[in-house]
Amino acid sequence: MRLSRYLPVGLAMAGLVACGGPKTEPNKVPVTTTQTKNAPSWIDNEEIPDGLAAVGIAQPNPMGDKSMMRTVAVADARTKLAGKLKVRVQNMFSQLNQQVTTAAADNTKKPIKTDVMNRVIENVTRQLVDQELAGTTTRNYWNDPSDGNLYVFVVMTKETMDRALAGAAQSQIRKEIAQGEQSLNAALDKLDAAIAASEPNQH
């Protein structure tokens, strides 16, 4: 009897919850994969149409030194940018080697030796990393309010990158030619085309 007396009340409460209770909204997909909402889009998508870019991160330090955090974050971004720059150099010389090899086969000339090409790639990459990364620009900063991490967006523009790449490649190729690697003569004429073909938006 006691159970039957409370049963209508229970049903009424259940109906009230079902009809008037708060509605659960579906989970929204976050703008980025970071834990903090409203993070800038470049944190998860650092590709840009006008050059190469990388995101550097620095954690808070015990002294609360913001300047040191920026220095650490920029250094981290430049290290990552150096890796991307190396890939770009390799792509450019891959295009150059292919063009020179095809031309050599048509004209019955000797192709570029693999060890010579590898040496040029290594020297060009080192020169670009040592000289040009210092000329990169910091396009944006962002502090994550959830953990205090600092993010920086460091960019090397396409104009700067192509100019530096052409200059370093010409310098190293001429150096090899002066040392007797005459097969590289044809590479100078095809350098601009190889640089253009190696751009990320060309793939």
Place of tokens 């000797």: 110
**Cβ-contact 54, 87 below 8 angstroms:** no
Amino acid at 177: I
Residues of the chain with pLDDT under 50: 1-31, 203
Q: What does the DSSP 8-state code read for residue 73?
A: H
Whole-angstrom distance, CA of residue 151 vs CA of residue 140:
8
pLDDT (0 to 100) of residue 104: 62
Domain ranges of the chain: 42-202
pLDDT at 22: 47
d(CA 198, CA 8): 76
- Position 48 scores a pLDDT of 92
pLDDT score of 127 = 86
| Tens-place pLDDT, residues 42-97 | 998 999 988 899 999 999 999 989 999 999 999 999 999 999 988 988 888 888 88
Neighbours of 78 (CB within 10 A): 20
**Average per-residue pLDDT for the chain:** 79
pLDDT number for residue 160: 87
Name which of 145, 164, 148, 146 is nearest 156 in CA terms: 164
Phi-psi category of residue 58: left, alpha or beta, with phi > 0 → left and psi -120 to 50 → alpha: beta
Architecture label for domain 42-202: Roll (3.10)
